[in-house]
Amino acid sequence: MKLVTAKEMQMIDQFTIEELGIPGIVLMENAGRGAFKHIKEYFLKHLQEAVIGILCGKGNNGGDGLVIARYLHEEGYLVRVFLLGKKEQLKGEAAVNLKIAEKLGVPIVEVQDETGWFKAREYLIACDLIIDALLGTGLKNELRGLIKEAVSFINETFPGFVVAVDMPTGLGSETGYPLGDAVRADLTVTFGLPKIGQIIYPGAHYVGALEIIDIGIPPQVVATFNLKHHLVTSDDIRDILPPRPVDMHKGKAGHVLVIAGSPGKTGAATLACLGALRIGAGLVTLGVAKSLNPILEVKLTEAMTLPLPESEGMFLAPEAWDEIKTSGLRYKVVCFGPGLGTAPSIRKLLERIIIEAETPLVIDADGLNVLAQDLNILKERKVDIILTPHPGEMARLIKASVPEVLRNKIEVSKELATEYGVIVVLKMARTLIATPDGEIFINSTGNPAMASGGVGDVLTGVIGGLLAQGESAKEAAILGVFLHGLAGDLWVEKNGGIGLLAQELANYLPKAWEVVAREGEE
């Protein structure tokens, strides 16, 4: 599903109006009518005598609110519009809808100062529902004045339901962060296409339930714009699910080489191998320091192990790569990093692999931590590389703070991917996948139960397992993140919202695969 910035949506609207000749007043009518239908469905089916207050701004968002007010008024609900400003300040389609609403007898009250706002509050506090049609997507600066007071009232004092029109007032449409403050809605009705800030966190907390309203923009118009942001849903990933023909054998299903593990962190290596196996890789070999090999041979049954040269402290030595190259293993992907430690020898080993590898690489965990010392080594790669940092690891990679990463998650992911020509998987709620050509894919699966040690190690193996089965780096990252999150969702459905173990998550991967495949057959 395509996502847009506020500017992109504005351009699409403008093209529809100017090039196709669909009047803006028609788009606004469609938006308001669609919003009314969802509001009625969510809140008003059994409340014929509901009291509704609508807060309108002076722009098109206020115009949308006036259309909604008209439909509610005609349906018999007790509606009052509070316009934060003067009626003569409305222009274009908003002004037209103001006149229509007035002629139909919709009560419209101008609120221009503190006294007017105090009176409005007295009415609004008794409402069953408040509709926020103040600012929409156009906000660039922090809230101030009466609008800031209105947002504070909605969040802190009003006890009823809240609907936001297009975008909760105060919420950044690209960042998902409030500009000073933002309305916390129970339902947001957005128009045309969803906005990035409605999907990523913390924006999703402010949006509540999200409904997307078709306002009459033809699909071919959207297709003419080079939209780079996507929400990944099952509809999007079903076509890239690798086929499993009836004559499948382990050779066809690919061979994953996992390089992982160090003293005290053999579990990370085990989980990465388990992720690759559970997602359908035919063979998995774990390359591990020879002193740890006896431990991993006991922990792993289905995966093979390859004892490798080690340095002091039982960390892998750079010479481990020579052993791998002469081992005769015909692997299709290397997963590097879970539980490896950050000894100097690990850095040297990674440098050699990046420069010399002839198969795709997935670099995670301690692999990322040692890579952070100098990212320029990535420019010497010959193959596709997927980096899978969490926000802390991303902060180390780009020499920033974690809050900076979180506030600018899309920008920093895109910059890292495009500068170094790699796929970046930023692991978090609504994980982001950034590609070298500037695309951003936002995952729709996953839940808080997945905030558990080892879950990221499983994802490393999952992505590696999909690469081994012939997926491209981009497809493996998108599909792997989606199925990984879906496995977590399926576990929660059966077991509740807490206590998920990484191994249990891996065991739900086949079910996640089945769910997606079955949906495609229906």
Q: Are residues 157 and 280 in the same domain?
A: no
DSSP 379: G
Average pLDDT in the 347-374 region? 98
Tell me how far CA of residue 233 lies from CA of 140, 227, 321, in angstroms.
30, 17, 39
Average pLDDT in the 497-506 region? 97
Q: Are residues 170 and 48 in the same domain?
A: yes
CA dist 147 and 136 (Å) reads: 12
Which residue among 207, 227, 247 closes a domain?
A: 227
DSSP for 494-521? HH-SS---HHHHHHTHHHHHHHHHHHHH
Predicted confidence at residue 238, as pLDDT, reads 86
pLDDT in tens, 228-250: 999 999 988 988 898 888 888 99
CATH code, 296: 3.40.1190.20
Q: Enter the tokens of residue 172.
A: 């950044």
**Nearest residue to 488 (alpha-carbon basis) of 450, 456, 434, 444:** 450
pLDDT beyond 80 at 138: no
Strand pairing category for 440-443 and 432-434 = antiparallel
Which residue among 227, 244, 274 closes a domain?
A: 227
Residue 440: strand pairing partners: 229, 434
Average pLDDT in the 362-370 region? 98
Mean pLDDT of the residues in the chain: 96
CATH code, 118: 3.40.50.10260
Q: Are residues 62 and 13 in the same domain?
A: yes
Neighbouring residues of 186: CB distance < 8 A, sequence distance ≥ 6: 42, 161, 162, 163, 208, 209
Predicted confidence at residue 244, as pLDDT, reads 85
- Rounded to 5 degrees, what are φ and ψ at 94? -65, -40
Residues spanned by the domain of 491: 236-521
Average pLDDT in the 443-465 region? 98
Predicted confidence at residue 171, as pLDDT, reads 97
Q: Are residues 278 and 170 in the same domain?
A: no
Q: Are residues 220 and 244 in the same domain?
A: no
| Global confidence as pTM | 0.95
Q: Are residues 20 and 81 in the same domain?
A: yes
Predicted confidence at residue 522, as pLDDT, reads 58
Average pLDDT in the 100-114 region? 97
Q: How confident is the model at residue 47 (pLDDT cuts 50, 70, 90)?
A: confident
Looking at the chain, the whole-number percentage of residues with pLDDT higher than 70 is 99
Average pLDDT in the 143-167 region? 96
Q: Which residues of 224-262 are buried (b: 16+ CB within 10 A; e: fewer)?
A: eeebbbbbbebebbeeebbeeeeeeeeeebbbbbbbbbb
Predicted confidence at residue 206, as pLDDT, reads 98
Average pLDDT in the 169-190 region? 96
Q: Are residues 216 and 122 in the same domain?
A: yes
Predicted confidence at residue 45, as pLDDT, reads 76
CA dist 84 and 422 (Å) reads: 48
Predicted confidence at residue 340, as pLDDT, reads 97
Q: Are residues 104 and 141 in the same domain?
A: yes
Residue 195: strand pairing partners: 4
Q: Are residues 430 and 335 in the same domain?
A: yes
Q: How many CA atoms lie within 13 A of 332 on its CB side?
A: 23
DSSP for 149-162? HHHHHHHHT--SEE
Q: Are residues 105 and 51 in the same domain?
A: yes
Other CB atoms within 10 Å distance of the CB of residue 58: 20
pLDDT beyond 70 at 520: no
Q: Are residues 222 and 270 in the same domain?
A: no
Q: What's the number of domains the chain is made of?
A: 2
Which residue among 200, 227, 254 closes a domain?
A: 227
pLDDT beyond 90 at 521: no
Q: Are residues 418 and 357 in the same domain?
A: yes
Query: Please, are residues 49 and 78 in contact by the beta-carbon 8 Å criterion?
Result: yes
Predicted confidence at residue 136, as pLDDT, reads 87
